[in-house]
Structure 1
Amino acid sequence: MSDLQFDRHRRLRMTSSLRDLVRETAVKKDDLIYPVFAVEGTDTKHEVPSMPGVYQYSLDLLKKEIDDVVEHGVKAIMLFGVPGTKDELGSNAYNENGIVQRAIRELKGEHPELTIIADTCLCQYTDHGHCGVIEDGNILNDRSLSLLVKTAVSQVEAGADVIAPSNMMDGFVAAIRAGLDEANFHHTPIMSYAVKYASAYYGPFRDAAHSSPSFGDRRTYQMDPANRNEAIREAVSDDREGADFLIVKPALSYLDIVSDVKSTVNRPIVAYNVSGEYSMIKAAAAQGWLDEKETVIEKLTSMKRAGADLIVTYFAKDMARWINESDT
Structure 2
Amino acid sequence: MPTPSDDLLRRVSDDLIDGYDEELEMEIEDDDRPDGLDSAEAARRREARRTYFRELFRLQAELVKLQDWVVHTGHKVVVVFEGRDAAGKGGVIKRITQRLNPRVCRVVALPAPNDRERTQWYFQRYVTQLPAGGEIVLFDRSWYNRAGVERVMGFCNEEQVEEFFRTVPEFEKMLVRSGIQLVKYWFSISDEEQEARFLGRIHDPLKQWKLSPMDLESRRRWEHYTKVKEEMLARTHTPESPWWVVPADDKKTARLNCIHHLLSLIPYHEVERPSITLPERIRHEGYRRHQVPGEIYVPQVY
Q: Same fold (TM over 0.5)?
A: no
Bigger helix share: 2
TM-score bin (small chain): 0.3 to 0.5
The two structures have a TM-score, normalised by structure 1, of 0.32
The two structures have a TM-score, normalised by structure 2, of 0.34
Give the structure with higher Rg (CA): 2
Bigger strand share: 1
